[in-house]
Amino acid sequence: MAVVAHTENDVALLARLMRAEAEEDGDLGMLMVGNTGVNRVIAACLDFTDIRNINDMVFQSPGGFEATQKGYFYQRARESEKRLARRVIQGERQHPATNSLWFFRPEGACPAQWFDQWNTGRFKAHCFYSPTMSDCPQVFR
């Protein structure tokens, strides 16, 4: 059962985001980016109180994703990324992005905190950050 409402257009949009943000980190990295995005749709807390669907999440501004903010969100979704997006929409989660709401690609080591959220781990180029359960219980489903 899907954890967020979606259409086929939403699947393609999420897949494009996953590709733009983490293609170089492979399938697992793209799944983690997808986890973070779906968590933002589910969350009704912090910077995400007005995010109600995948489209809102992908194009959130300010506070959204670099791919859509800085112009490298232009490649279409391939079937392989769409399959990954469907897995995330169906609730598959990957550590360290299981409950994350943020990730970024630092020049060096992952800072312990980012936007007042604690680092939950790194996968290849990206560091992932999660809220506490008291700050955002929805992402701890």
Name the architecture of domain 8-140. Answer: Orthogonal Bundle (1.10)
pLDDT, tens digit, 9 for 90 and up, residues 36-74 = 999 999 999 999 999 999 999 999 988 888 888 887 778
Residues 66-83: pLDDT tens digits?
888 887 778 889 999 999
C-alpha distances (whole Å) from 30 to each of 24, 47, 58, 98, 137 are: 9, 22, 14, 13, 24
pTM for the model: 0.95
